[in-house]
């Protein structure tokens, strides 16, 4: 049996989605694909609470979505402020610098997040045409206080990009109400679709900014090249990722059918339950409590537990978790609990983790950990 993916993406893919992926490949200009694409785009807009946003699905990863967001709203003389909560915020800055944009980074310590007052001070210090924020950093498990950032950014005039790769579809992001100009994500995270689609949603203001730019250093990811084809999928610009779009359409449909408030609450409840079980196993989270994301946990190893050995044993037992990135490598593991992960899957994962730790000489009680997690699910 294949291991259950508890890495921070791809997340587990449910049979309804794999069934959609396995449907016959049709023409990228067919009525069948047009129906699936329009359904995906309509439901995607619902998940980020926008009436007038323009979604685009590119064949690619979350990094491509980051690049597309920046390139479509940043002029060559604009200055970008990247609000970084860790590894992937720093990547956004590297993308900006790679294209020659003037870029400053406002960074929180790893495991923490930039506080709203710090953002306000940075914006008071100079003018930024573009502000890019990582909602949840997959490397550190830190979630930015996005609603508070919205108040700080209100009436500033900056184009606001939100990297929702590990958040969109699992945590509330109200594009219209909060004044977000671009939300970007990837299919394989909170939506629980297979990897392969980079997802960007552009507000009317962001689209107007793109139209105001004489040119951008992109062709495939240029919003202007995709607008007609996203409104009428029979209009050709580039071949759509047919099967991935059909799977994504089903995944986003599942999210909307669940009910978005219920889906967000389920992510929060699952996170509490997983962390309750981890605590009984003697495992501490790396991230500050104030900024814990409901979509993943970054977990410190206790003394004497080797990273590679633990993850190999856990994989042999049927569960995949990811190692730490950069400065946290070897010190933590990263455990995703996003998308369509069920209560029973989470409880089984905690129990099996306890058995693995016990086999490595840790004095733990797996049954007690499962009981703590189960109790937290009822809160």
pLDDT higher than threshold 90 for residue 109: yes
In this structure, is the dihedral angle defined by the CA atoms of residues 205, 206, 207 and 210, taken in order, positive or negative?
A: positive
Domain limits, CATH 3.90.1150.10, in the chain? 259-377
Express as a percent the part of the chain with pLDDT over 70: 100
pLDDT band with cut points at 50, 70 and 90 for residue 308? very high
Share of the chain above pLDDT 90, in %: 97
Sheet with strand 182-186: strands edge to edge? 54-59, 197-202, 182-186, 159-163, 130-134, 79-84, 102-107
Average pLDDT along the chain: 98
Predicted confidence (pLDDT) per residue in 168-196, tens digit: 999 999 999 999 999 999 999 999 999 99
Predicted pLDDT at 224: 98
- 322-379 confidence digits (pLDDT tens): 999 999 999 999 999 999 999 999 999 999 999 999 999 999 999 999 999 999 999 8
Indicate where the chain has its CATH 3.40.640.10 domain(s): 15-258
> What distance in Å separates the CA atoms of residue 350 and residue 369, rounded to the nearest whole number?
7
Question: Yes or no: is domain 259-377 CATH 3.90.1150.10?
Answer: yes
CA distance 73 to 364: 52
pLDDT in tens, 14-34: 999 999 999 999 999 999 999
Round to whole Å and give the CA distance between 299 and 196: 28
Cβ-based neighbours of 16, under 8 Å, separated by 6 or more? 250, 254
For 66-71, what is the mean pLDDT?
99
Residue 102 has pLDDT above 90, yes or no: yes
How far is Cα 219 from Cα 314, in angstroms, rounded to an integer? Answer: 43
Residue 231 — very low, low, confident or very high, per pLDDT cuts 50/70/90? confident
Q: Output the pLDDT for position 274.
A: 99
Long-range contacts of 307-315 (CB under 8 A, 24+ apart): 307/331, 307/333, 309/360, 310/356, 310/357, 310/360, 313/356, 313/359, 313/360, 314/352, 314/353, 314/356, 315/3
| Class of CATH domain 15-258 | alpha beta
149's tokens:
């950032």
pLDDT higher than threshold 80 for residue 97: yes
Q: How does residue 119 score in pLDDT terms, banded at 50, 70 and 90?
A: very high
The predicted model scores a pTM of 0.97
pLDDT in tens, 35-50: 999 999 999 999 999 9
pLDDT category of residue 1 using cuts at 50, 70 and 90: confident
Q: Give the confidence band of 309 by pLDDT, cuts at 50, 70, 90.
A: very high
């Amino acid at each position: 049996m294949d291991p259950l993916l508890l890495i921070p993406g791809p997340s587990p893919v449910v049979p309804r989605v794999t069934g959609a992926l396995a449907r016959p490949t049709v023409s990228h200009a067919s009525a069948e694909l047009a129906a699936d694409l329009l359904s995906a785009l309509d439901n995607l807009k619902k998940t980020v609470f926008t009436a007038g946003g323009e979604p685009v699905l590119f064949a690619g990863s979350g990094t491509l979505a980051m690049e597309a967001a920046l390139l479509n709203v940043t002029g060559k003389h604009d200055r970008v402020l990247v609000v970084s909560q860790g590894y992937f915020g720093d990547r956004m800055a590297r993308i900006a610098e790679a294209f020659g944009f003037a870029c400053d980074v406002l960074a929180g310590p790893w495991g923490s997040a930039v506080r709203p007052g710090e953002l306000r001070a940075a914006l008071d210090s100079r003018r930024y045409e573009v502000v890019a924020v990582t909602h949840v950093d997959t490397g550190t498990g830190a979630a930015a206080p996005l609603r508070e950032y919205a108040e700080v950014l209100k009436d500033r005039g900056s184009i606001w990009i939100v990297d929702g790769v590990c958040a969109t579809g699992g945590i509330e992001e109200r594009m219209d109400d909060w004044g977000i100009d671009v939300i970007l994500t990837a299919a394989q995270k909170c939506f629980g679709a297979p990897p392969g689609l980079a997802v960007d949603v552009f507000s009317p203001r962001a689209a107007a900014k793109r139209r105001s730019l004489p040119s951008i250093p992109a062709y495939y990811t240029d919003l202007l090249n995709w607008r007609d084809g996203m409104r009428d999928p029979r209009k050709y610009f580039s071949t759509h990722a047919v099967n991935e779009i059909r799977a994504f359409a089903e995944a986003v449909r599942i999210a909307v059918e669940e009910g978005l408030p219920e889906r967000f609450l389920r992510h929060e409840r699952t996170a509490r339950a997983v962390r309750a079980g981890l605590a009984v196993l003697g495992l501490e989270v790396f991230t500050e409590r104030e900024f814990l994301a409901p979509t993943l946990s970054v977990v410190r190893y206790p003394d004497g537990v080797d990273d590679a050995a633990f993850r190999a044993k856990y994989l042999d037992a049927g569960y995949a978790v990811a190692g730490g990135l950069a400065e946290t490598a070897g010190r933590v593991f990263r455990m995703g609990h996003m998308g369509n992960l069920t209560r029973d899957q989470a409880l089984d994962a905690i129990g099996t983790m306890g058995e693995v730790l016990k086999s490595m000489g840790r004095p733990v009680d797996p049954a007690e950990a499962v009981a703590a997690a189960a109790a937290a699910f009822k809160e």
